[in-house]
Amino acid sequence: MDFTDLHALLHATYGEMMPLCAHMTGIAKGIAGLGALFYIALRIWSSLARAEPIDVFPLLRPFVLGFCIMFFPSVVLGTVNAVLSPVVQGTEKLVHVQQNDLQSLRDQRDKLEEEAYRRDKSRAYLVDDAAWDEKVQEMGFIGPEDAITLAGMYAERTAFNTKRWFVKKIYQALELVYNAASLIIDTLRTFILIVLSILGPIVFGIAVWDGLGGSLSAWFARYISVYLWLPVSSILTALLTKIQVLMISKDIAELQNPGYVPDSGDWYYIVFFLIGIVGFFCVPTVAGWIIAKGVGLVDSLQVTQVDLADIVGQYTQKSMTLDAATGTMVPLSSDVEIKKVSDTQAQFIIDGTYTWEAAFTPGQGLELLNGKVVKTATDPASGKNIYIMSVLAADDFTAEHKTYIIGTREPVLISVNHDGKLIFKEKSKISSEQYWASYGFVRSSSRQITQGTFIGIEKFFIQPKLEAK
């Protein structure tokens, strides 16, 4: 059994283990069902408490996840594998083509190398028994003086063949380690994929719960990342094989020159085996670059450990704001305090003046709704109340794009990254200029802000960033 058969055996093992994930669907459905109950109840209660219409679309999430759990092997794994398997097959074809070329070129080079040694009459006796016998016959009667010469010839031949044998054995040993490293990577890949596949329904069930939705993204990212180990490994193998093909092709071209005398070994091929062995253990890192950074993932275990008590405190907010006099953007620095009200509620206080109520979700961060009263003042002329209201703002907010968004349901999100720091997160991009991370305050004659109640702009914070003091 060669290494190719062992790789095929691993792939067959993965296919045989896939049906086992169906045994986890019962447990996953129980977890998901309980999570769905709390998930839907919380959102309906929140909407009723705020006297807002119930948004049905987010409530469909638990049902979609439940569907994925029930048909996990075919819907989830089948879809992901069907998308990724062409990548694996394409990279493996690259390897097979290069390896077939390599083997034929090796045979041709070995044949030409032996011919080149025999062509050199002064060194032919080192590799060819017939040439050795011919050279001894040419010496005629072997006397005391010829015995020394003969012993020197024998020692030279022995040293030459020993060197060739030693280099060849090192070559074979490193080739074995090289193939073993490739097999180790493939074995670990198969093991991790089987674990992720069998426990996948449990992850989907946990993802229904509030605060644990990041586990679903993490599962997909890790599954795809580990799945790509094989294509990355195949690309590395194809690269090293191609280099060997080019080197052997160069050797063949030189060996075809009648005046060329080859050296005694394949030491320069050994270098590339060492490079390949080291390269194989870099495969997981390279594969992680492809998916994890691209989707901006954070480790779900770290995220779920973040509590409101971990982020309360004093911050400096760096942003841009609109200079009313010039109509240009200028830097603005503000003092921000996050104060705990309860385990799920906080206050986002800016410059000790504007108090913005915030909802906290463990592991995710703060949610600040627009259309909320952050300060109440009195109009000196009329004596009536003026309400300072939170609104969303255009990202640039230049004189050409003085845009704000009136509503009561769109949030500004402040998420917790993998370092436990708070960052303003883009919720959505609703036009070429508007981002929901930028916000501001406007003056209104009513607590229910409309275009008719708008009095004027109070202050805006464009592209805000938070730094802990």
Helix, strand, coil tally for the chain in percent (to 5): 55, 20, 25
Give the β-pairing of 313-323 and 411-416: unpaired
Range of the domain at 17: 3-297
Lowest average pLDDT, out of 29-38, 69-78, 137-146, 451-460, goes to 137-146
In this prediction, residue 244 carries a pLDDT of 81
Question: Are residues 339 and 286 part of one domain?
Answer: no
- The reply to whether 14 falls in a domain is yes
Q: pLDDT band for position 350 (50/70/90)? A: very high
Tokens of 307: 């509590």
Contact 169, 270 (CB under 8 A): no
Residue predicted with more confidence, 245 or 161: 245
Q: Note whether 191 and 279 are same-domain residues.
A: yes
C-alpha to C-alpha distance for 223 and 197, rounded to whole angstroms: 8
Question: Does 86 fall in a domain?
Answer: yes
Task: Examine the pLDDT at 221 and tell me if it is beyond 60.
Answer: yes
Compute the average pLDDT of residues 316-324. 85
Mean pLDDT over each residue of the chain, to the nearest integer: 76
Q: Which of 14-18, 125-129, 330-334 has the lowest mean pLDDT?
A: 125-129
Inform me whether the pLDDT recorded for 300 exceeds 70. no
Number of domains in the chain: 2
315 and 288 housed in the same domain: no
2-11, 263-272, 292-301: which range is least confident on average? 292-301
Q: Are residues 193 and 118 in the same domain?
A: yes
Q: What is the mean pLDDT of residues 243-270?
A: 73
Tell me if 358 is assigned to some domain: yes
- Tens-digit pLDDT profile for residues 106-146: 778 777 777 766 666 556 556 655 665 566 666 665 556 66
Let me know whether 11 and 157 are in one domain.
Answer: yes
Check whether residue 124 and residue 253 sit in a common domain: yes
Considering the domain boundaries, does residue 303 fall inside one? no
User: Could you write out the DSSP letters of every residue in 138-203?
Assistant: HH-S--HHHHHHHHHHHHHHHHHHHHHHHHHHHHHHHHHHHHHHHHHHHHHHHHHHHHHHHSHHHH
348 pLDDT more than 90:
yes
CB atoms under 10 Å from CB of 181, counted, come to: 19
Q: Which helix (H) or strand (E) holds 313?
A: strand 313-323
Instruction: Give the separation between CA 333 and CA 391, rounded to whole angstroms.
Output: 19
The residue ranking higher by pLDDT, 347 or 33, is: 347
Domain match, 41 and 88 both: yes
**Tens-digit pLDDT profile for residues 410-463:** 788 888 776 667 888 765 554 444 556 788 888 888 888 777 788 888 888 888
Decide which of 59 and 314 is more confident: 314
Residue 342, helix vs strand vs coil: coil
Using DSSP, state whether 444 is helix, strand or coil: strand
Q: 94 in a domain, yes or no?
A: yes
- When pLDDT is cut at 50, 70 and 90, the band that residue 344 belongs to is confident
Q: What is the pLDDT of residue 194?
A: 85
Closest CA to 36 of 217, 216, 199, 206: 206
pLDDT reading at 28 higher than 50: yes
- Over residues 143-166, the mean pLDDT reads 67
User: Who wins on pLDDT, 216 or 228?
Assistant: 228
Please check whether residue 169 lies inside any domain of the structure: yes
Weakest-pLDDT range from 39-48, 379-388, 421-430, 440-449: 421-430
pTM (2 decimals)? Answer: 0.54
Has residue 152 been placed in a domain?
yes
Q: Which two tokens stand for residue 243?
A: 């280099």
Which tops the pLDDT comparison, 38 or 344? 344
Tell whether 160 and 138 lie within a shared domain.
yes
